[in-house]
């Protein structure tokens, strides 16, 4: 979609790079970041909470040790979820906080953790039942005017929640779960709204969080993988690349946020952009997912 974001066509998601997954050390982070950049994935997705509030700082150490990296990458992070964690002793229960004070404090902390002067994109991680769009707009405008955050968006927002915030400021991204296993945004208006309002849709768990990796033993996943493998032979591609090509064919311009800890999978995802499935092939995959033809 035409908007002013200059992000790579595949975004590298860091959620499983640290304590919530691979337990990368600083060298691992540096190698992964460099390999992603080399593959063409220059945009990295974070959230304050990843690794129980530790992954941003671990990634930031890699930037601190090689500051030249910063000019080659774009950094996304999120705020608004308050988890119960040892390093957040003030949190008694998991809750959301989209107050002006919390947004600004969280962004300041992310800047420090990531060893950067600016964040390319800040997202409200989840819709907060108590959110006041005017309050969020004030926080965003303060962060923008100080040059600390360049762009703003939301994550996991439905159409009316996005429209509510759009009435106060420009929502540039909605990061939601979209995959062949989770097609709701195609039908619930979220992608329609993205096209209409020029909001970039980013898909988290674009490969179903890895459950399509041959591990899943359910009928539906088997059907999807079988069709994707047949198409993979035609396009000389892996079934994972076919499933990403399926996502990227949507006219809303979905940018996958890939959660892999392996740079070669990022490279394969970038190459999947060149696979142009026919409409019939796209619908064959949809049929495999739903179990029936369209009406």
**Inter-residue contact 207 to 271 (CB < 8 Å):** no
Catalytic residues: 50
**Considering only residues 204, 248, 272, 275, which one is a binding residue for ligand NAP as defined by CB under 6 A?**
204
Which of 15, 2, 90 is CA-nearest to residue 45?
A: 15
Interface mask toward ligand NAP for 42-61; x: CB under 6 A: ---x----------------
**Considering only residues 213, 274, 278, 290, which one is a binding residue for ligand NAP as defined by CB under 6 A?**
213
- Enumerate residues 6+ apart whose C-beta is below 8 A from 276: 245, 249
Q: How far is the CB of 295 from ligand NAP (least distance, A)?
A: 29
Cβ nearer to ligand NAP, comparing 40 with 210: 210
Any contact of residue 207 with ligand NAP (CB under 6 A)? yes
Any contact of residue 194 with ligand NAP (CB under 6 A)? no
Any contact of residue 260 with ligand NAP (CB under 6 A)? yes
Q: How far is the CB of 293 from ligand NAP (least distance, A)?
A: 26
Any contact of residue 261 with ligand NAP (CB under 6 A)? yes
Residues forming the site for ligand NAP (CB under 6 A): 13-16, 45, 125, 155-156, 175, 204-210, 213, 240, 257-262, 265
């Amino acid at each position: 979609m035409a908007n002013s974001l200059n992000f790579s066509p595949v975004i590298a998601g860091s959620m499983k790079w640290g304590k919530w997954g691979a337990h990368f050390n600083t060298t691992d982070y540096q190698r992964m970041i460099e390999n992603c950049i080399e593959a063409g994935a220059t945009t990295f997705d974070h959230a304050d909470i990843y690794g129980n509030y530790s992954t941003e700082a671990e990634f930031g150490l890699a930037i601190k040790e090689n500051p030249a990296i910063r000019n080659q990458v774009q950094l996304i992070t999120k705020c608004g979820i308050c988890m119960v964690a040892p390093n957040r002793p003030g949190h008694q229960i998991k809750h959301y906080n989209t107050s002006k004070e919390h947004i600004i404090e969280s962004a300041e902390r992310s800047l420090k953790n990531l060893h950067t002067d600016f964040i390319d994109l800040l997202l409200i991680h989840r819709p907060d039942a108590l959110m006041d769009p005017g309050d969020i707009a004030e926080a965003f405008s303060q962060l923008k005017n100080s040059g600390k955050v360049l762009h703003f968006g939301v994550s996991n927002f439905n159409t009316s929640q996005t429209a509510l915030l759009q009435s106060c400021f420009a929502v540039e991204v909605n990061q939601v779960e979209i995959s062949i296993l989770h097609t709701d945004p195609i039908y619930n208006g979220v992608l329609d709204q993205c096209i209409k309002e020029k909001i970039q849709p980013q898909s988290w768990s674009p490969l179903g969080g890895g459950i399509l990796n041959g591990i899943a033993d359910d009928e539906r996943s088997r059907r999807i993988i079988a069709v994707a493998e047949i198409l993979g032979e035609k396009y000389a591609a892996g079934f994972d690349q076919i499933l990403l090509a399926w996502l990227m064919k949507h006219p809303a311009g979905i940018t996958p946020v890939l959660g892999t800890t392996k740079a070669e999978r990022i490279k394969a995802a970038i190459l999947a952009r060149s696979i142009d499935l026919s409409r019939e092939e796209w619908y064959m995959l949809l049929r495999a997912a739903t179990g029936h033809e369209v009406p």
